[in-house]
Structure 1
């Protein structure tokens, strides 16, 4: 499902204008990004948690030329699904 499909679903279920559904998605994503940028985690009940974690640097071997390389330390976004979301996806 992509942004357009999500907006269409919101548009139909809430009976709002299409541009309002798109605006809602944009504002929702913007709020999540703003929180993550400031180091906060984002907890959405019954869905999951987004948080920024530090990945340590690591040595890897390039599959192209078998050369050793170092991937530097960096920040990444991690999503931890809520228990009920995991159970729903599993079919429990």
Structure 2
């Protein structure tokens, strides 16, 4: 399912116009991105959580040059589905 599919489905269910729904969906995504960029997690009860995870520093290998490099600690966005959401998908 693409963003366009989501916009079409929401527009059909709510009766809103597609441009209005597109603005709402894009505003939601921008809000989630801004929160994660600022290190704040986003919790949507019954759906899941968008969280910021910290990856620890690690040693990696460059096989072509046969050298080791250090990958510094960094943060990545992640999604953790709610328990009810996970159960409904398993059915």
- TM bin, normalised by shorter chain, reads 0.7 to 0.9
Partner residue of 1:21?
21
Equivalent position SS for 1:50: strand
Question: How far did 1:41 drift?
Answer: 1.0
Structure 2, unpaired ranges of 5+: none
- Alignment RMSD, CA only? 1.5
- Comparing 67-76 with 25-34, greater Cα deviation is found at 67-76
**TM-score normalised to structure 2 length:** 0.87
Question: How far did 1:67 drift?
Answer: 4.2
Equivalents in 2 of 1:2, 1:17: separation in Å?
18
**TM-score normalised to structure 1 length:** 0.86
Q: What do residues 19-78 of structure 1 show as CA deviations (whole Å, max 9, x unaligned)?
A: 01110111111111121122211000111011112111112234x535433322111012
Paired residues, number: 90
